[in-house]
Amino acid sequence: MISVWKGWSRVKGSLSASRRVLLILDFDGTLSPLAETPDAAVLPLVIRQTLRRLTALPSVTVAIMSGRPVTYLRRMVGDRRVIYGGNHGLEMRGPRLSFIHSEARRLRTTVRAYASAWRSTLNLIPGALLENKGLSLGLHHRRVPARHLPAFHRLIDRLKRQTAGRPFRWRTGKKVWELLPDVAWNKGKAALWLMKKMKDPRPVVVGDDVTDEDMFRALRRRGTCIVVGRKRSAAGLYLAGQGEVPRLLRSLEKELSA
Ligand SMILES: [Mg+2]
């Protein structure tokens, strides 16, 4: 793994050889600094402005691929030219583009029922938070004090038993457990779907979490993959931290508008 800046001449070469570029960006921990609660996340102004200039370039399409729902991403970014991929790509919306994974759509009412049944139980644990994302649920423990963590994890175990045998799966991310429809889909498959739909532009993928690794594995041979934070990753390049994302976007803008 080398840093983006050390490998910049290669990034530059790959971009200048491409007529169309698809920039796929994760949201939390990539565009937005990681926050204490999901509600507290913000999109720094400098990033919003650079994104706007990038989406204005005719050769560039920007897609945001996140575990958040599309409605949230749209509200935070507020740019109609962006393609929003929500719920880890189970739903995607953009100009002339609308997708919801059909099995996930069918499980929506069950997700809603779990959300209302679990909220009060989760509220008994200080700091715990349930995020209803429509097609999936997020159970957050970033603000749960250490002494209450065992109770949080016991509850997760109980809910796991409750959903055993149902068409759902559990996965853990940064200080969160998620309940997702058990469908053969992830950010990587969603990114490939988008690539095909757009007739294979050159991808540039940036993300920080384990779910982004599916995109890196799917696209690393076809473009540039950059992981935020120096860690084991299928991405070939890394940024030292989220604080370097604005500089990365500005550098991409510079190359792509040249
Ligand atoms: Mg992330």
- Whether residue 138 sits in one domain with residue 93: no
Number of domains, the chain = 2
Average pLDDT, the chain: 96
- Whether residue 93 sits in one domain with residue 192: yes
- Whether residue 86 sits in one domain with residue 207: yes
Q: How far is the CA of 210 from the centre of ligand 1 (A)?
A: 8
Q: DSSP of 41-93, one letter per residue?
A: ----HHHHHHHHHHHHSTTEEEEEE-SS-HHHHHHHH--TTSEEEEGGGTEEE
Give per-residue pLDDT as tens, 122-146.
999 999 999 999 999 999 999 999 9
- Whether residue 80 sits in one domain with residue 19: yes
Chain mean position to CA 77:
13
Cβ atoms of 173 and 214 closer than 8 Å: no
Q: How far is the CA of 37 from the centre of ligand 1 (A)?
A: 14
Give per-residue pLDDT as tens, 232-245.
999 999 999 999 99
- Whether residue 81 sits in one domain with residue 194: yes
Cβ atoms of 9 and 47 closer than 8 Å: no
Q: Identify the domain boundary among 181, 210, 228.
A: 181
Q: In what order do the strands lie in the sheet with 202-207?
A: 2-3, 237-239, 224-228, 202-207, 21-25, 60-65, 83-86, 91-94, 97-100
pLDDT of 121 > 90? The answer is: yes
Q: How far is the CA of 20 from the centre of ligand 1 (A)?
A: 25
CATH for 83: 3.40.50.1000
β 97-100/91-94 pair status: antiparallel
Q: How far is the CA of 212 from the centre of ligand 1 (A)?
A: 7
Task: State the pLDDT at residue 39.
Answer: 86
pLDDT band at residue 228, thresholds of 50, 70 and 90? very high
Q: Identify the domain boundary among 120, 154, 181.
A: 181
Please name the amino acid found at residue 9: S
Q: Identify the domain boundary among 126, 157, 181.
A: 181
Q: How far is the CA of 26 from the centre of ligand 1 (A)?
A: 5
- Whether residue 166 sits in one domain with residue 42: no
Q: What is the mean pLDDT of residues 14-24?
A: 95
pLDDT of 35 > 90? The answer is: no
Residue ranges with CB less than 5 Å from ion ligand 1: 26, 28-29, 208-209
Q: Tokens standing for 10? A: 């290669």
- Whether residue 203 sits in one domain with residue 177: no
Task: State the pLDDT at residue 258.
Answer: 82
Q: How far is the CA of 28 from the centre of ligand 1 (A)?
A: 4
Task: State the pLDDT at residue 173.
Answer: 84
Q: How far is the CA of 153 from the centre of ligand 1 (A)?
A: 22
Q: How far is the CA of 106 from the centre of ligand 1 (A)?
A: 26
- Whether residue 86 sits in one domain with residue 9: yes
Name the residue with tokens 């560039």.
60
CATH for 134: 3.30.70.1020
Q: How far is the CA of 164 from the centre of ligand 1 (A)?
A: 27
Q: How far is the CA of 142 from the centre of ligand 1 (A)?
A: 14
pLDDT of 110 > 90? The answer is: yes
Range of the domain at 115: 105-181
Q: How far is the CA of 201 from the centre of ligand 1 (A)?
A: 23
- Whether residue 227 sits in one domain with residue 144: no
Cβ atoms of 208 and 30 closer than 8 Å: yes
